[in-house]
Amino acid sequence: MKAWAPALLLGLAVVLPAKGDGYEPPAVDYKNIPYNGRFTFVRLRFRPSQWGPGRYEWGLDLKWNHDYPRADGHFMKMLKELTTLDPNEDGGNILALDDPELFKYPVAYMCEPGFWTLTDAEAAGMRTYLRKGGFVIFDDFVGPHWDNFAEQMRKVLPSGRLVELDASHPVFDSFFRVGDPRAFPHPYFRWAQPNYLGVFEDNDPSKRLMVIVNYNQDVSEYWEWSDTNYAPIDLSNEAYKLGVDYVIYGMTH
């Protein structure tokens, strides 16, 4: 981890500047799948602290929608082929942290938490979700974006501790055996040293991992472009292995 990062786990963080009162990001259209008991990929949406004017294949750059829908769809196909989860392949659901529907789904994913903001209701919703057995995957943020992520997590779990994980943790051996995830490079910021952190139930590393954090990493970028020549096949495969391990861990703990 970068030399300054451990201090941020304990010290105060700087929140990225938000727009003034009355600011609302533009709306985008999506349609969720009604709950049917099958595994559904849930992407968490939030009001971004700032958003860019650029467009993606789907919608505007709202931060939480990075790599959607390609990454989600490709990942569900892999889960279908490799596991017995029988996931919904037609698309995933997009939910806010204060949506009661979230409690129907044991695993949720959030990207770009460097731009994450929380209302009191969302913080309370996520806190309850985690304590009731939910598992959240954070992905796609680097460098100083840590500051905002750590600040938002303090709102969710004021006494929670982010603990750096090594390859010996069961989350990296729940389906595939991942050797050293820290050796798996960021898809384009090659200067960034990937690190993986977690928050444990009761801050006890012998208990359930409630949160997995891919810091200085962007696993879903590999998922999104895995059907192209964007990255070597072996790197895309490693990204899928991590994702499958996370889901299996979240579904069994």
- The string of pLDDT tens digits covering residues 19-62 is 444 556 777 788 899 999 999 999 999 999 876 556 655 667 88
Residue 17 pLDDT exceeds 80: no
- Give the pLDDT mean for 93-119: 97
Output the six-digit token pair for 200.
């444990």
Rounded to whole angstroms, the Cα distance separating 111 from 194 reads 15
Amino acid 161: pLDDT: 97
**Cβ-based neighbours of 10, under 8 Å, separated by 6 or more:** none
Percentage of residues of the chain with pLDDT beyond 90: 77
| Burial classification of residue 236, based on how many CB atoms lie within 10 Å of its CB (0-12 exposed, 13-18 middle, 19 or more buried) | buried
Per-residue pLDDT band for 90 (boundaries 50, 70, 90) equals confident
Rounded to whole angstroms, the Cα distance separating 71 from 67 reads 5
- Give the pLDDT mean for 171-185: 95
Residue 9 pLDDT exceeds 50: no
Q: How far is CA 89 from CA 32, 77, 225, 252, in A?
A: 12, 6, 17, 21
Output the six-digit token pair for 252.
């069994």
User: Which pTM value belongs to this model?
Assistant: 0.89
Highest mean pLDDT out of 44-48, 60-64, 212-216, 229-233:
212-216
Rounded to whole angstroms, the Cα distance separating 126 from 107 reads 12
114-140 confidence digits (pLDDT tens): 999 999 999 999 999 999 999 999 999
Among 185, 202, 201, 181, which residue's Cα sits nearest to residue 193? 185
What does the mean pLDDT of the chain come to? 88
**Cβ-based neighbours of 168, under 8 Å, separated by 6 or more:** none
Per the rule left: phi > 0, alpha: psi between -120 and 50, beta: everything else, 19 is beta
Amino acid 196: pLDDT: 98
Amino acid 27: pLDDT: 73
Amino acid 6: pLDDT: 36
Amino acid 89: pLDDT: 87
Per-residue pLDDT band for 14 (boundaries 50, 70, 90) equals very low
Amino acid 5: pLDDT: 39
Q: Comparing 77 with 15, which gets the higher pLDDT? A: 77
Amino acid 91: pLDDT: 72
